[in-house]
Structure 1
Amino acid sequence: MSVLSRLAVIAAISIAACSQGEPAASASTVQSGADSGRREVAVFAGGCFWSTEANFEHMPGVVSAVSGFAGGTVSNPSYDQVVRGGTGHLEAVQVTYDPARITYRQLVDRFWRTIDPTDPDGQFCDQGAPYATAVFATAAQRPIAEASRAAAVAVIGERRFVTPVRNGARFWPAESYHQDFARLNPVRYGGYTRFCGREARLRAVWGR
């Protein structure tokens, strides 16, 4: 095993689940290019919010991606409360975007390809209720999200596809040390994704 391989294994073991993190700055990645000044919001639950955030925040037209929680019954939950269970929240990411530069449909289409929508119990090595997947859609967003879901289902098959489109829900930001985790902790995040086998599983599911 090479020195780099050893380091990767050590990093992976140290973060064997999304449940560990370090203090970090607030999440806000502003894209370059013409900005219309318009803002809309989308909320996605894709398992570990570190990964969901990283999958969106560098897309042209995305203004920010913030890690947090949605879909539960407890106001302003802490991370510890959510992972202990009983609050009903999923780890989620609130994506703020410029609709003149990227559409909601493009965001939802992107979301499906970053998750394993055949897993009802979590994502990759993060298993349990808080890591279930969903699109949280407003009444206006729902027809678009459902159309996007139908297109994704056509690729995978209805019986295997378990990720739902849910009604919009209050989003609560997570603690600051969870924000921008992939960008601020690239070695630890890289070890985590390799340990979890994200890319291999996504290729197996989506054929890419």
Structure 2
Amino acid sequence: MQKATFAGGCFWCMVTPFEELPGIERIVSGYTGGTKVNPTYEDVKTGATGHIEAVEITFDPELFPYERLLELYWQQIDPTDEFGQFHDRGTQYATAIFYHNERQFELALQSKQALEASGRFDKPIVTKILPAAAFYEAEEYHQDYHKKNPKHYKEDREKSGRDQFVRDNWTNDK
């Protein structure tokens, strides 16, 4: 088993695209990339900790290769927005790929370069590729939020603009 860590705005919205896929063992919402040890949601949402909301995925690369995780990741975000994602604004909602080994770094860099070269976006791709850092699990009420609060999750996701962006920018005709 390996780990993959992705930041793509609100971590609630980064769980559902990866769950229930073959080879995905566990998805945890949490915080990474900052300086505060054991941050809470209240700490992170201020933007002062340096942490980013992220998901840590435990996966079997034989069943679901890292390359496929990367492909799916890019299709969930606006990689040109450096100040957050959709209606979630601030550095704590930035996009980033946190690599856990040299091979993940190489694959992440190749995928970013391929996206830049594709011409899909008119603006530069600003998603960072960073070494994995300490990952702190978010509070229990954030884990599987979409299952615990389906109505609120659906409403929040629709209002955020994420789904419309994905439809507009990640269709097969691009």
**Take 2:16 and 2:148, find their aligned partners in 1: how far apart are those partners?**
11
Contact kept, 8 Å, 2:3 with 2:100, in 1: the verdict is: no
Give the whole-Å Cα distance in 2 for the aligned partners of 1:62 and 1:204: 27
Structure 1 residue 153 displacement after superposition: 1.9
Corresponding letter in the other structure for 1:45? A
* Alpha-carbon shift at residue 58 of structure 1 (Å): 2.2
What per-residue deviation string (whole Å, max 9, x for no partner) do you get for residues 41-99 of structure 1?
00000100001112212222111100000100011101100011211000000000111
The answer as to 2:110 corresponding to 1:147 is yes
Aligned residues: 170
State how 1:1-208 maps to structure 2 within 5 Å: 39-140=1-102, 141-155=104-118, 156-157=120-121, 159-207=123-171
Q: 2:17 is paired with a residue of what secondary structure?
A: helix
Is contact 1:125-1:196 (8 Å) kept?
yes
Q: What letter matches 1:143 in structure 2?
A: E
TM-score (norm 1): 0.77
Return the TM-score normalized by structure 2.
0.92
Query: Does the aligned pair in 2 maintain the 1:40–1:99 contact within 8 Å?
Result: yes
Between 1:93-102 and 1:160-169, the stretch displaced more is 160-169
Q: Which letter maps to 2:47?
A: G
The aligned counterpart of 1:21 is none
Extract structure 1 runs of 4+ deviating beyond 6 A. none
- % identical aligned pairs: 42
Q: Does the aligned pair in 1 maintain the 2:22–2:63 contact within 8 Å?
A: yes
Structure 1 unaligned runs (5+)?
1-38
Write the deviation string for residues 120-146 of structure 1: whole angstroms up to 9, x where unpaired. Answer: 111111111100000001332100111
Distance 1:159 1:198, change over 3 A: closer
Which one has a bigger Cα radius of gyration?
A: 1
